[in-house]
Amino acid sequence: MRVLALLAVFLCAAVAQDSTPEQLFRDAVAAQQRGDYDGAVAKYRDLVRLRPDVPEVHANLGAALVHLGRFDEAISEYENALAGSDHPAIRLNLALAYYKVGRIRDASAQFETLHAAAPSELRISLLLADCWLQQGENKKVIDLLSPYDAQSQDDPAFSYVFGMALMRDNQMDRGQQVIDRILRNGDSAQARILMATARMRRLDYMGARQDLMRAIELDPKLPGLYSLYGRCLSTLLDTGAIAAFQKELETNPNDFDANLNVGVDELHNRQFDAAEAHFRRALAVRPDDPGVLMQMANLNIAQDKRDAALSILEDLVKRFPDFREAHVLLARIYYRMNRKADGDAESAVVKKLNEKKAETATVSPDYGSAAH
């Protein structure tokens, strides 16, 4: 996220009649270019007070704030800049800032706009694909990246995202082709995590654990690696699962599965503030995820906040009428509130869902519950 190239001409023309903001601008840019980001921020803020209508000043202020790790402030400045100028560089910086703080849905919206304007730009397509992958939109990833496949087979980042989407969508043959071409360049953590994903789809969790242990040896900082390892260990009832999820969060604090599972563990241990923080991070990635919302309801119940839990659950059963566990919990709350008629109605829904499941002998919908 760099100083916007067209700043000098634009701002000098805008403030030609006032040397004070012009000098502030020059001093701010000079400070930013020599790495004095605190000084640059102070000068840009002074300049914003004088000329709040210049989008590029907000954009440069945002870039300086990013260098200081102050992403929420940077996002606010980028949003101000974008409101006044639909410049692709501003939109890209805003998208990247959203991406960095885990506001994946917001990042997706910006990357979608950028992709529509430049559909042949692979970097934008790959960032958009990764956002969709984090949100579980595997088919959208496949549709987006398939046209690039022939020309991008030597790009490890492309192959990893594309291969992961294929595996998660149960397109095992195509996914295996991606694994094979990654392995042509030698063993790698990316190949191992794809192999482990395929094994887990086949319920071979012991084999997946071996692949994931090898991936950890090769590249322990690969995003999502420890999270998948945690899911694998959870299925094997291995007590090291939570430690794996916590390890993921050390380098990848916005990982959905890690936040959800660590939050559930904290909820069980009555660490309510910590649990809520992790659930909110998970919701920043997937804002409408029913599994996380269910856990938020459990959290509110544990804190005797029945009205808050009731609001979440009533909304959940409206949007996901086959979500059996939500109906069960909602019935329980109604009975505790002496709302017998409402409790009986929910119990009747649960009975019908149980009968439907028995008749069809199919697995219930996966609503994103924690791994353990």
Residue 338 lies in a domain: no
Nearest to 346 by CA among 304, 369, 316: 316
Cα separations in angstroms, 104 against 108, 123, 365:
6, 16, 24
Burial class, 132, CB count within 10 angstroms (exposed 0-12 / middle 13-18 / buried 19+) = buried
User: Rounded to the nearest 10 degrees, what angle do helices 225-235 and 205-218 cross at?
Assistant: 150
3-state secondary structure at position 370: coil
**pLDDT (tens digit per residue) in 260-292:** 999 999 999 999 999 999 999 999 999 889 999
pLDDT value of position 5: 43
Task: Count the neighbouring beta carbons within 10 Å of the beta carbon of residue 52.
Answer: 11
Residue 39 lies in a domain: yes
On the question of pLDDT at 15 being above 60, the answer is no
Q: What is the average per-residue pLDDT within 192-207?
A: 94
**pLDDT (tens digit per residue) in 30-65:** 999 999 999 999 999 998 898 888 998 999 999 999
Q: What is the average per-residue pLDDT within 241-259?
A: 96
Burial class, 119, CB count within 10 angstroms (exposed 0-12 / middle 13-18 / buried 19+) = exposed
pLDDT value of position 280: 95
Residue 34 lies in a domain: yes
Residue 12 lies in a domain: yes
Domain around 78: 1-101
Core vs surface per residue 319-352: b (16+ CB within 10 A) or e:
ebeebbbbbebbbebbeeeeeeebbeebbebbee
- Structure-block tokens of residue 8: 């000098």
Residues in CB range of 368: below 8 A, 6 or more apart = 260, 286, 289, 290, 291, 292
Is 3 or 225 the better-scoring residue by pLDDT? 225
Whole-angstrom distance, CA of residue 225 vs CA of residue 216: 7
Give start and end residues of each alpha helix (H) in 102-204.
104-117, 122-134, 138-145, 156-168, 172-183, 189-201
| pLDDT band at residue 356 under the 50/70/90 scheme | confident
Q: What is the CATH number of the domain that holds 44?
A: 1.25.40.10
pLDDT value of position 21: 78
On the question of pLDDT at 11 being above 50, the answer is no
**pLDDT (tens digit per residue) in 101-133:** 989 999 999 999 999 999 999 999 999 999 999
Residue 42 lies in a domain: yes
Give start and end residues of each alpha helix (H) in 236-339.
241-251, 256-268, 272-285, 290-302, 306-319, 324-336
pLDDT value of position 20: 74
Residue 70 lies in a domain: yes
Q: What is the average per-residue pLDDT within 5-23?
A: 51
Place of tokens 């291995």: 238
Residue 225 lies in a domain: no
On the question of pLDDT at 19 being above 70, the answer is no
Percentage of the chain modeled with pLDDT above 90 = 74
pLDDT value of position 155: 86
Residue 75 lies in a domain: yes
| pLDDT band at residue 364 under the 50/70/90 scheme | very low
Tell me which DSSP letter residue 146 carries: G
3-state secondary structure at position 14: helix
Whole-angstrom distance, CA of residue 327 vs CA of residue 353: 10
Place of tokens 């991008």: 152
Tell if the pTM clears 0.75, that is, is over it: yes
Cα separations in angstroms, 3 against 68, 89, 131, 346:
14, 10, 25, 57
| pLDDT band at residue 370 under the 50/70/90 scheme | low
CA torsion 66→246→161→108, rounded to 10°? Answer: -50
pLDDT value of position 341: 96
Number of domains in the chain: 1
Contact (CB, 8 A) for 323 and 365: yes
On the question of pLDDT at 2 being above 90, the answer is no
CA atoms within 13 A on the CB side of 78: 30
